[in-house]
Amino acid sequence: MRGSSLVRLAAVAALLIESAACASAPPPVCTAPAASVAVTELYFGRNIPGGNEVSEPEWHRFLDETVTSRFPEGFTVLDGEGQYRMADGSIVRERSKVLVLIGVKGNVDARLDEVIADYKRRFRQESVLRRGGVACVSFR
């Protein structure tokens, strides 16, 4: 097995162990007025194969046409800078957008899958990172 394959295998194993620990962890104990709610983050890389980048107008069109219709209750978008190592050892840096959804109810998984699929199709992306968990939140 090549070194990069071993690194990827170790990363996947660590992620599975962490996921299992998260799944078995009890939800946080919140003190009033905070409540325990689901929090989901989607990380969208902006590099497009061929050397282009998802522009701000393209991103806002995606939000308007895909995200807002599926999550009209609201969300937050953060700008980010990402970095990762490719299988060939090269370092890739790219700007990103982070979509944060807090306390969304209903058929969340299906709606998130639709958002992810549309982004991947529109901008020829390999993947979108999804992170989920539970947090204590309140408006004060």
Residue 74: inside a domain: yes
Per-residue pLDDT of the chain (140 residues; tens, 9 = 90+): 444 333 343 444 444 444 444 556 677 889 999 999 999 999 999 999 888 999 999 999 999 999 999 999 999 999 999 998 888 999 989 999 999 999 888 889 999 999 999 999 999 998 999 999 999 999 88
Nearest partner of 132 among 95, 96, 102, 97, judged by Cα: 102
Count structural domains, the chain.
1
SS (H, E, C) 87-128: CCCCEEEEEEEEEEEECCCCCHHHHHHHHHHHHHHHHCCCCC
Q: Is 89 left (phi over 0), alpha (psi -120 to 50) or beta?
A: left
The predicted structure's pLDDT at residue 26? 75
What span, in angstroms and rounded, lies between the C-alpha atoms of 74 and 31? 24
The predicted structure's pLDDT at residue 2? 42
What span, in angstroms and rounded, lies between the C-alpha atoms of 110 and 106? 9
Residue 22: inside a domain: no
Residue 94: inside a domain: yes
Residue 5: inside a domain: no
Which residues span the domain enclosing 85?
Answer: 30-137
Residue 13: inside a domain: no
CATH label of the domain that carries residue 87: 3.30.70.120
